[in-house]
Structures are given as C-alpha cells and as structure tokens.
Amino acid sequence: MSRGAVQAVEHAAEAPVPLPAGHVCEIWGVLNITPDSFSDAGLFLDPGAALARAEAMLREGAQVIDVGGESSRPAGACYGEGFSEVPVAEELERVTPVVRALAHGGHRVSVDTVKPEVARAALHEGAQIINDVSCGRSHELLDVVAQAGSELVLMHTRGRGEVEPPFSVYADVVQDVLTELELAAQRAQRAGVARSKIWFDPGLGFAKTAAQSLSLLAALPTLVAAGPRVLVGSSRKSFLARFGSARDGARPAPGERLPASLASVLASARAGAQAVRVHDVAEAWQALSFDRALNEARTR
C-alpha cells in the first residue's frame, strides 16, 4: 500500500463518527438593522425592508431570526477601528418594531445586544433569546435575562473583539475559550439564569486570528461536550476567505464566501452544534437537509 493510501486510511479512522439519525441543527437567520455591518450594511435599515427580509428567511427555513441594531464587527486588519457604538434610543428605534412584528406573528426571535435597556425592551415585545456578544460582561443584562426567564447566548470575546494582542493571545485557544465561556456561564447562573437556558458561541473571528478561528471550528466537539447548547456563527467571516481563497490566491469578499460558509455550516452540524447563524438561509437549509439524509442513509 502506498504512503498516500496509508495516510488516507489513517485520516478516515480519525473522522468524526456520524451523528445519530434525527440530530437537527437549527438555522438562525441574521438580520442586521445597521449601516455598518461587515456584510450587509444598510440593506435593512428601513423597518419594511427588515421585515421583508425576515419573512423571506422564515420561508427559506430559518427557525430563529437574530435581530441586531448595532454592529459588532471587531477592530483589526479587516475592519479597521471596528464597530461604532449606537445610543440606546437609536438601537431601540431600529429593533423594537421588527421584534414586535415577528414575535406577535409567533416566530422565535433572538436579539443581538449588549445593552440591558435594549434586552429588556426586546423581551417585553416578545423576543425569547438574548444574544450577548460581550460574553456576559454586563451584570445588569444578566439580571434582565434572569428576570424574564429567557434564553441567553454567551459569545466568547475579549475586549471589543480586537484581533490583536493582547486579546488574541492564548495559551491554548480551545481550552482558554472553553474556560472563559464557563466563567461567563457561572456569572449568568449566579444572576439567576438557568443553565438549561444558556448557549455557548465560540465567537469565531472575535479576538481570534484566522488560524485560531479555524482551530476552534475544528475542535467544536470539545465545546459541544461541555454541556450548554452550541451556536456557531461563521457565515461570511474573514477567516473563511483566508483558508477558502480563489485558485489565484485572491480572497473573496463577504458576499462571495458562500461555499466556505456552507462548508463551515456542515462542519458545525456534524460536530453536534445545535444551531448555526447564517446570512444565506435557503442554501444552508439545502446543505443541512442533504447532509441529514446522507447521515441517515449511513445508519440504516
């Protein structure tokens, strides 16, 4: 047997065991009501346009609409100084009408915010999930979530997500991220949030280099085994362009990263993630549906 064949057999032996038939990875559709998000800036600032986009994603298969009224793009080589903070009143004006309409229509809504005032208003309007990209930094926000009994996504980050030292320096990126997420979960639990309501998000691209983000994606089974449900947001992110460049070496722009985004969606689902956060819902639905059918065929 050739050396290449031996290596292929060894790699096959190391491949993840197929998930049990019936494992379902939810699709959360991204709805950025912002002028400065890295991918779809300004497209959905109008409430009518935002609702139309949400309704389209629901038809395409999204189980949750994740609404954000403030960009969280991190500072670094890709996005310069990163996001600009939005006053509470402006963020409320952006998200409240959309959350109200979606929640009153019976849809599951997540609100991407770090502000307790926005979280409180969104939950009052019927949102069921707060997506906290600050990793549980605000005790007041944790108190709001606890009082409402809602679900909480804790996304790993450091600082403002800057992709530069000291924020991107880790002894072991997988273990350090897991430790810091667990500490955030303990803060949330002390505030009164039930552990069963907590999600972990590894925060790909936040305070992490492209290589570190890739390592975390590869190590998702370790994160899944930690207990809380796992949400992965890799859609259109810059680390995909680094490792999914064109044949001539060019790095695709955010809107051109669909193939790598779908590869990361499938990797997340196969690792046991309970949800993926995506911009391209119809394509993710098709990829996950086929992968689920393939997995079921393997286990017959």
Side-chain-facing half-sphere of 297: CA atoms under 13 Å: 6
pLDDT in tens, 50-89: 999 999 999 999 999 999 999 765 655 555 555 568 899 9
For residue 178, being part of any structural domain is answered with yes
* Whole-number Cα distances in Å, 199 to 36, 45, 85, 106, 150: 26, 28, 25, 22, 11
My answer on whether omega of the bond before 87 falls inside 30° of 0, hence cis, is: no
Which helix (H) or strand (E) is 52 found in, with range?
Answer: helix 47-60
How many domains does the chain fold into? 1
pLDDT in tens, 119-147: 999 999 999 999 999 999 999 999 999 99
Domain holding 277, by residue range, is 22-298
What band does 296 get if pLDDT is binned at 50, 70 and 90? confident
Please say if the pLDDT value at position 150 is more than 50. yes
Cα separation, 169 vs 155, whole angstroms = 17
For residue 43, being part of any structural domain is answered with yes
For residue 230, being part of any structural domain is answered with yes
For residue 5, being part of any structural domain is answered with no
For residue 116, being part of any structural domain is answered with yes
For residue 89, being part of any structural domain is answered with yes
pLDDT in tens, 78-94: 555 555 688 999 999 99
Residue 202's domain is classified under what CATH number?
Answer: 3.20.20.20
Please say if the pLDDT value at position 190 is more than 70. yes
**Catalytic status, residue 237:** yes
For residue 158, being part of any structural domain is answered with yes
**Catalytic status, residue 270:** no
For residue 226, being part of any structural domain is answered with yes
236, 237, 257, 270: which is the annotated catalytic residue? 237
